[in-house]
Structure 1
Amino acid sequence: MKTFYDVLQLLERYGTFIHVGKRLWDIELAAVEVDRLHAARLIDDKTYATAKIVLRHEHEQEEKHPLINEDGGKSNG
């Protein structure tokens, strides 16, 4: 597991589909869902730790360089 997409694929295996509409929110919700899977002992410690690292990295990258502008991509420049 190396990307946010990989984490989403993991969640989908357990019936969780995430699309809130804003990438940062999707990442945050995925982190909550990974926590819930781990608490329910559906994923092991290694998978949990790897997913959390990926999500933390993606969250930091999205805060630094959002894929969509805050104005919904409607910037004039």
Structure 2
Amino acid sequence: MKNVYDVQQILKKFGTFIYSGDRIGDLELMEMEIGDLYKMQFIEKDHYLQAKLILRKEKNRLLTKGAR
């Protein structure tokens, strides 16, 4: 797992499609969904942590880009 697209593909496997038109909102929703999948033991801890890191990095990138 290397990018947000890969995280979306994991969510897609479980029937979750997220698109609201608000990229930061989408990332937050994906983060919550990944957390739920981990809590229900559908994904392993390493995939969960990787996904969280990818989503947070992308969110921070967008927030700092917007602050310029």
**Greater percentage in helix:** 2
- TM-score when normalising by structure 1: 0.82
1:42 partner amino acid: F
Q: Which runs of 5+ in 2 are unaligned?
A: none
Percent identical pairs in the alignment equals 38
* Runs of 5+ unmatched residues, structure 1: 67-77
Matches of 1:56 and 1:6 in 2, distance apart? 14
Partner of 1:24: 24
What TM-score do the two structures reach when normalised by structure 2? 0.93
Could you say which residue in structure 2 is the equivalent of 1:12?
A: 12
Cα deviation per residue 1:3-45 (whole Å; 9 max; x = unaligned)?
1111011100000000011100010000000000000000000
Cross-structure match for 1:48: 48
What SS is found at the alignment partner of 2:15?
A: coil
Number of positions where the alignment pairs a residue of Structure 1 with one of Structure 2: 66
